Amino acid sequence: MDIETTPTTAVTVNDILTRYESDCLPELAESTQADYVRHLAVLRRLYGPAVAAELRPKDFAEFLNVKQRGRVLRCKQLAVLSAAFTQAVSFWYVLERNVLRDVKRPKFRPRDRLVEQHEFDAVRALATIRVRLAMDLAVRTGQRQGDLLNMRWSDIRGMEIHVCQSKTGKRLAIEITADLEAVLDRCWQLPVKSEFVLTTKHGHRYTGPGFRACWQRTMAKYCRLGGTRYTFHDLRALAATRCETPEIAMRLLGHSNISMTLRVYRRGVERVKALEHQG
C-alpha cells in the first residue's frame, strides 16, 4: 500500500498507521500483532487526523502525563507510533523526520517478580491438566507462551526439541532430559491426539487469547485464596534464574547477548565466591 501525496494533501497519522498495519504488522509474532492492534486503536483515536509533519514534542506531553502504571502502557503505544514514523521517514519517504526522537520517555526498571517454588506449586495445584502441563514445559524449556503453544510433535527429533522462536526467529535445539521427557509423556497421554504438544480438550491448537483466558481463570482462583498474582511470562524468568549460570540461561532463552538475560530475566541473587587474599 502506498501513501499518495500531492502538494495540496498532507499525510496524516492515520495514513501512516494504516500503511504500517498492512505492511509491517504481518511480519511480527501473533501475540505482538494483537498488542499492536490495540495500541493502534488508541493512537488513531488521539492522533489519527493530525498532520504528521506538524506534530511537535509538546503534543505528547499530556499523553504521557498519567500515573506510573498507565505511563508504562503509554510508552509502549508511543514506541509503536515511533516505529511507524521511522518507516515513513526511512522507507516510504513521506516524512522528513520522526518527531518522537525528541520526546523524552521515562525509563522503567525491568520487572523483577521472582516466582517462589511454593507459589508455583500452589497455582499448579489449582490449574487444569493442560495449564499444568504448560507450566511444567515453561519452567523446563524457558520458552515463551506462543512458542510452547506452537510446539509440534514433529519438532521432537531424537532427544531434542527443535524450536524456531516466533518473536526473533532464533533456532534452538533443547536437549530432552529425563524430567522433560516425563512432561512430554504426560502431554502425549492427553485423551485427544493432535499434531500439537499442548492442545485444547478438543485437540485443537490453543490461540494466544484462549490460553491467556485459561491462565487468568487459574490466577483468579489463586488470588481469591490469598496468593499474589504473577504472569505466565514470569515462568520464563524463573527458568532463567534456575539455570546454573547466566550463559546457560542466555542460550536457553535464545538471547543474542547476555545483557538482556541479566537485566530482565535473572531475578535471583547472583552468588559469587570471595577471592582469596594474595599477599
**Domains of the chain (ranges, CATH numbers):** 13-102 (1.10.150), 117-265 (1.10.443.10)
pLDDT of residue 5: 52
pLDDT of residue 172: 97
Predicted confidence (pLDDT) per residue in 164-189, tens digit: 999 889 999 999 999 999 999 999 99
Looking up cell 500483532 gives 33
Query: What is the chain's length?
Result: 279
pLDDT of residue 183: 98
Q: Which residue ranges in the chain fall short of pLDDT 70?
A: 1-9, 68, 279
pLDDT of residue 254: 97
pLDDT of residue 1: 59
pLDDT of residue 6: 47
In our burial notation (b when 16+ CB lie closer than 10 A, e otherwise), range 177-214 reads eeebeebbeebeebeeebebbbbbeeeebbebeebbeb
Q: Return d(Cα 227, Cα 218) in angstroms, integer.
A: 11
CB of 148 within 8 A of CB of 134? yes
Q: Return d(Cα 39, Cα 229) in angstroms, integer.
A: 24
pLDDT of residue 38: 96
pLDDT of residue 108: 83
Which residue type does 33 have? Q
DSSP 154: G
CB of 59 within 8 A of CB of 42? no
DSSP 186: H
Q: Return d(Cα 57, Cα 104) in angstroms, integer.
A: 9
pLDDT of residue 198: 96
Q: 3-class DSSP state for residue 188?
A: helix
187 alpha-carbon distance from chain centroid: 24
pLDDT of residue 221: 98
Looking up cell 499525510 gives 11
104 phi, psi to nearest 5 deg: -75, 120
Q: Please report, for residues 52, 160, 174, 223, 227, the alpha-carbon distance to residue 122 in angstroms, rounded to integers and kept in the order given.
A: 51, 30, 27, 11, 9
Find the DSSP H helices in the chain.
13-23, 30-47, 61-64, 68-90, 117-126, 129-141, 145-150, 178-188, 208-224, 234-242, 246-253, 258-260
pLDDT of residue 70: 83
pLDDT of residue 273: 86
Q: Which of 179, 201, 198 is nearest to 187 (CA)?
A: 198
Burial class (CB in 10 A: 0-12, 13-18, 19+), 143: buried
Q: Which of 101, 109, 89, 69 is nearest to 16 (CA)?
A: 89
Which residue type does 179 have? D
